[in-house]
Amino acid sequence: MLGGVMTDARRYPIHETFYSWQGEGCHLGRAAFFIRLYGCPLKCPWCDSAGTWHPQHRPKNVPRRTPEALAEEAAQDRPEFVVITGGEPCIHDLAPLTSALRDGRGLRTHLETSGAFPISGVFDWVTLSPKRAMLPHPSCVAAASEFKIVVDSPDAVEFWVGELEKLGRARDDARPVWLHPEWSRHADTAILGLITEAVKTRRGPFRAGWQMHKLYRADSLDARARPDSSPVPL
């Protein structure tokens, strides 16, 4: 069930786990353990984790691990926090996982989500990166600690400013709004210029963003990370 009860005896389908540092947003540069779950119904054409895609969202022939095993692995690396990501992690019931991380190991929990599904579990920080394929749920907009808008077209900034206001983000909202160039266009002067002008014009919470971990190739230094981003075979 999307956003509902996890099946298969409380085991999560795992695409990868690795220890690196957060390459984006307000926690840029801080040591973090990443848990990337399988499953995403959005399938953005420029996705950099397309290896998590699957039409049933819970593919059978992939590794599955218990919340306790994941919490134990994360604790061994002693990160500043644990990032649960995907795919779209909120298609799963994340409550058992955040409980194992927070209550069992005393680890802080961060979430990276499109906001298309209600959030389960308890998080210290929520990064909401909305996608056009499925607009965010208003409850997710309210729960967000920061927003990350992927600027992939000339109208992206205006589109998302308008949509987020419709979904509950007030115009005077002080939560950071990061404007990231879609990575295949990170050298596109038009996209970069658009972000620059938006930051200069809107000011306040609007900030120019970047995926710094990609410049450092930090994630790939952990042998557990999976560089292959092609969709999982059916």
Q: Where are the domains of the chain?
A: 12-221
Looking only at the bridges linking them, the beta strands covering 31-37 and 12-21 are: antiparallel
pLDDT digits (tens, 9 = 90+) for 34-84: 999 999 988 888 888 888 887 555 667 788 999 999 999 999 999 999 999
Looking only at the bridges linking them, the beta strands covering 64-65 and 109-113 are: unpaired
The 3-state DSSP class for residue 147 equals: strand
CA separation for the pair 41, 37 (Å, rounded): 13
Share of the chain above pLDDT 70, in %: 91
Mean pLDDT, rounded, for 92-120: 97
CA separation for the pair 43, 8 (Å, rounded): 24
Q: Is residue 8's pLDDT more than 80? A: no
Q: What are phi and psi of 25, to 5 degrees?
A: 75, -160
Q: What is the pLDDT of residue 6?
A: 46
pLDDT digits (tens, 9 = 90+) for 143-164: 999 999 999 999 999 999 999 9
Domain covering 12-221 in this structure, CATH number: 3.20.20.70
Q: How confident is the model at residue 86 (pLDDT cuts 50, 70, 90)?
A: very high
